[in-house]
């Protein structure tokens, strides 16, 4: 299982006018399961094809461990790939389809049989092993394709491009956990492309978020949710995404209009430092506050610090309520327990907990909120 290193790798389909993948340096570490997550058109497939060798990048070098594979075609990279739609020999049995990648690489017959049966068991394909592939429905064919991608134990990496698109939603959950199980068993380096955050967050050790041809943040699912480094991650991860509000830093204090909501702490400044130190390093001026609906505290009576808001409505979601409010003209969503009473038109007061509220400039996180002079913001 190789470390896959991209050094200054970028790709343009139009001779350098625009970049589908902006030049980047990045390492996929051996034996980890990565999800490559981002909206349609952000460059995920291009990045995957650069790793597999289907695309030679316009700039930069690709290394598998210390081997420079930039000019090496896919066949020479020892990669397994699974695409969005089934790629199978339709006239072959499921067994032979699964065995094909192993026989092709001259695995001993005993190992072929052992691996095929192991993968078939994990993917619940045992009863279909003798059937011709074309007799299976599209979802089941895709599971066989998945099996073909996972059957070899010795591969540099397994690359999966939206592999569960054609699979029945109810089966997706099962397959994701199977995939995790197979990954634990084989220790493959997995890169799994998806635009579905649930898929990414439930499957991967590490989620790599891509927007507009660039990696904006990578981390464990909880880290992306709790500590977004970029506004895009705030929006894209979470349901609904992070609230963003324009604010101003004045003499180290974060204000929304006339309301003081906390001190501005530069990133990397943590509890334990004095407020004066915390306020250092973030210049005065406009800033955007980011806070997830899960962490906004909504209360009736005014408490300080915080900001006044007007309730505009409530969505009853069953397990929880989503309260819609306006701070001035800016919408702020608050996730509350089910059944809370917030009448449309009523005045509310919003509190932003210091440790869960972040500050952004030019979309990139520059700091977070710190408590105001010992007064709690939660």
- Chain residues binding ligand ATP by CB under 6 A are 13, 20, 38, 40-46, 195
Nearest approach in angstroms of CB 20 to ligand ATP is 3
Measured from the CB atom, the residue of 42 and 179 that comes closer to ligand ATP is 42
Closest CA to 359 of 292, 269, 264: 264
Measured from the CB atom, the residue of 38 and 163 that comes closer to ligand ATP is 38
Distance CA 83, CA 100 (A): 17
Q: What are the φ/ψ torsions at residue 181 (nearest 5 degrees)?
A: -65, -45
336 in Cβ contact with 300 (< 8 Å): no
Tokens 């619940």, residue located: 124
Peptide bond just before 176 cis, omega within 30 deg: no
153 in Cβ contact with 161 (< 8 Å): no
Measured from the CB atom, the residue of 31 and 74 that comes closer to ligand ATP is 74
Nearest approach in angstroms of CB 287 to ligand ATP is 30
Nearest approach in angstroms of CB 213 to ligand ATP is 7
Measured from the CB atom, the residue of 210 and 366 that comes closer to ligand ATP is 210
Distance CA 126, CA 152 (A): 18
Measured from the CB atom, the residue of 62 and 311 that comes closer to ligand ATP is 62
| Three-state helix/strand/coil letters over 78-95 | CEEEECCCCCCCCCCEHH
CA distances from 372 to 58, 227, 296, 306 (A): 50, 21, 17, 11
Nearest approach in angstroms of CB 233 to ligand ATP is 16
Angle, vertex CA 138, rays to CA 127 and CA 52, nearest 5: 100
Nearest approach in angstroms of CB 44 to ligand ATP is 4
Measured from the CB atom, the residue of 49 and 243 that comes closer to ligand ATP is 49
Measured from the CB atom, the residue of 20 and 298 that comes closer to ligand ATP is 20
Classify 369 in phi/psi space as left (phi over 0), alpha (psi -120 to 50) or beta: beta
Distance CA 331, CA 262 (A): 20
Structure tokens at 245: 């509000």
């Amino acid at each position: 299982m190789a470390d896959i290193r991209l050094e200054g790798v970028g790709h343009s389909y139009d001779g350098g006018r625009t970049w589908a993948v902006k030049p980047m340096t990045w390492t996929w570490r051996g034996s980890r399961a990565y999800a490559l997550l981002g909206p349609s058109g952000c460059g995920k497939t291009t990045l995957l094809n650069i790793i597999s060798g289907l695309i030679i990048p316009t700039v930069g070098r690709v290394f598998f461990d210390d081997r420079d594979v930039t000019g090496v075609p896919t066949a020479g990279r020892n990669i397994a790939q699974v695409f969005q739609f089934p790629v199978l020999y339709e006239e072959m049995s499921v067994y032979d389809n699964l065995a094909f990648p192993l026989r092709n690489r001259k695995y001993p017959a005993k190992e072929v049989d052992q691996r095929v049966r192991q993968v078939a068991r994990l993917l619940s394909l045992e009863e279909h092993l003798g059937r011709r592939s074309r007799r299976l429905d599209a979802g089941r064919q895709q599971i066989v394709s998945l099996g073909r991608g996972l059957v070899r134990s010795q591969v540099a990496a397994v690359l999966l491009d939206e592999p569960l698109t054609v699979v029945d939603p109810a089966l997706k959950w099962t397959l994701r956990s199977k995939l995790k199980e197979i990954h634990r068993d084989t220790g493959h380096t997995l890169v799994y492309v998806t635009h579905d955050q649930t898929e990414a967050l439930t499957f991967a050790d590490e989620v790599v978020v891509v927007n507009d041809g660039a990696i904006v943040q990578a981390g464990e699912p909880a880290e992306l949710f709790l500590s977004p480094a970029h506004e895009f991650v705030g929006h894209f991860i979470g349901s609904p995404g992070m609230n963003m509000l324009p604010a101003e830093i004045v003499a180290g204090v974060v204000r929304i209009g006339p309301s003081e909501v906390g001190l501005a702490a530069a990133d990397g400044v943590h509890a334990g430092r004095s407020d004066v130190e915390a306020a250092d390093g973030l210049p005065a001026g406009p800033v955007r506050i980011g806070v997830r609906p899960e962490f906004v505290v909504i209360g009736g009576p005014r408490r300080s610090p915080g900001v006044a808001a007007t309730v505009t409505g409530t969505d009853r979601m069953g397990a929880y309520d989503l309260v819609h409010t306006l701070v001035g003209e800016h919408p702020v969503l608050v996730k509350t327990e089910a059944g809370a009473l917030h009448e449309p038109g009523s005045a509310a007061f919003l509190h932003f907990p210091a440790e869960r509220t972040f500050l952004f400039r030019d979309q990139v996180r520059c700091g977070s909120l710190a408590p105001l002079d010992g007064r709690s913001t939660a």
